Amino acid sequence: MGMSRTDCFILVRFCFCKKPPHRCEAIPVTRKTANHTWVRLRTDGPGFVSWPINQSFSPKRVPPPLALSFSRSSSDSGSFVDSKMAETKPTMHAVWYDSYGGGPAGLKHVDIPVPAPQKDELLLKLEAISINPVDWKTQKGMLRPVLPPKFPHIPATDVGGEVVEVGTAVKKFKPGDKVVAILSHLKGGGFAEFAVAKENLTVARPPEVSAPEGAGLPVAGLTALQALTQAAGIKLDRSGPLKNILITAASGGVGHYAVQLAKLGNTHVTATCGTRNVDFVRSLGADEVLDYKTPEGAALKSPSDKKYDFVVHCAHSFPWTVFEPNLSECGKVIDITPSIGAMMTFALKKLTFSKKQLVPLLLTPKGENLEFVVKLVKEGKLKTFIDSTYPLSKAEDAWAKSINGHATGKIIVEP
């Protein structure tokens, strides 16, 4: 059996440029589908390695069997057909859980097939993933029966990566594009080397925005944006009237974006956080900072005696009676962590046509909003502060850190 020029080039590239820690021997190419061709490389180990051609070779994990898949860039003669290869699928490292509960110990490391994109989806090689509390709340069963729809479930939805394959209906992206995406909350998929993302929830990532900076944005950044611009009506070009805003848990994922975004508008921002984060939150632009462990912080009382027009409430467990005396005449609490008590307050305030209101907020992710926050990061108007970074092999440590509830900014996992 012989090989075409293209096949030789690809093998040379992998053997010499990407430096896999194996002796690579060319085994002829087999044409498996209309879109893909498969190469397998014999290694000096016990099997073969699977790796998509458009991605850099990672010697960290070499699961047998190993098959290399790629999109052909030149004529595909189809002269090499290996029936065994036609059955081999490329695999990847992923982390999933297969029942409710268990916390970090419930996460399992698995080698599973690389997912295939549907026609309106992209296959991404992930470079960074960020964790949100909703990820481990889902594992706890707090969102059952909706999430997860089935087990096993690969958690995490906020990712930065590179496009390696596009579905037939995808128009805006091509292999090699760097992107930020929010994956389906139903399907998850972020704790893995590869994931599929919908085209409409994927945006280009410019070189000025690193993969971790981008991956921090989707849930936390879009929630902060939605709370401020949609629920509170703040105009981020400073064109609106001055508004007094309180942001609770301003050191967290949502809060740290909320402070920065609020200060792009015409606002006076009071923020709450723990003692160790007071300087950090001030550096984000907060006009005044309350330590939540002090009596004034617990009472949410503005040091300059301001009454809040809006509260972006990212912390937990504040009864209405604490908010009420601090609100302006038509003040609104935008509650992103509504408890049952908060839902009752919401209903009561609506029914009684109260001027002061509590509004529960649930994120509606939109591609255009993701594009907007990525642009703000590119322009240096918004920053992702990274609390800590963990390799995917230590995903349970990242998980524990998030469950612990004391992150400053975003927790990042890297495959």
Binding region for ligand NAP (CB under 6 A): 132-134, 137, 219-220, 223, 248-249, 251-255, 272-274, 277, 292, 314-315, 336-337, 361-363, 402, 405-408
Least CB distance to ligand NAP at residue 139 (A): 13
- Residue 152 preceded by cis peptide, ω within 30: yes
Q: Which is nearer to ligand NAP, 204 or 298 (CB)?
A: 298
Least CB distance to ligand NAP at residue 391 (A): 20
Q: Which is nearer to ligand NAP, 232 or 254 (CB)?
A: 254
Least CB distance to ligand NAP at residue 132 (A): 5
Q: Which is nearer to ligand NAP, 204 or 231 (CB)?
A: 231
- Nearest-angstrom CA–CA distance, 153 and 147: 9
Structure tokens at 248: 């609770």
Q: Which is nearer to ligand NAP, 35 or 230 (CB)?
A: 230
Q: DSSP strand E in 99-182: where?
A: 108-113, 121-130, 158-166, 178-182
| Cα first-last separation, the chain | 37
Per the CB < 8 A criterion, the answer to whether 253 and 237 are in contact is: no
Residue type (1 letter), 44: D
Structure tokens at 318: 């504040």
Least CB distance to ligand NAP at residue 161 (A): 21
| Rg of the chain, C-alpha, whole Å | 24
Least CB distance to ligand NAP at residue 276 (A): 6
Residue type (1 letter), 170: V
| DSSP SS3 for 53 | coil
What phi-psi label fits residue 314: left (phi over 0), alpha (psi between -120 and 50 degrees) or beta?
A: alpha
Tell whether the torsion through CA atoms of 158, 162, 166 and 169 is positive or negative.
positive
Q: Which is nearer to ligand NAP, 123 or 249 (CB)?
A: 249
Nearby residues of 330 by Cβ (< 8 Å), 6 or more positions away: 309, 355, 356
Per the CB < 8 A criterion, the answer to whether 11 and 26 are in contact is: yes
Q: Which is nearer to ligand NAP, 88 or 251 (CB)?
A: 251
| DSSP SS3 for 263 | coil
The DSSP secondary-structure symbol of 228 reads I
Least CB distance to ligand NAP at residue 255 (A): 5
Q: Which is nearer to ligand NAP, 260 or 277 (CB)?
A: 277
Least CB distance to ligand NAP at residue 157 (A): 11
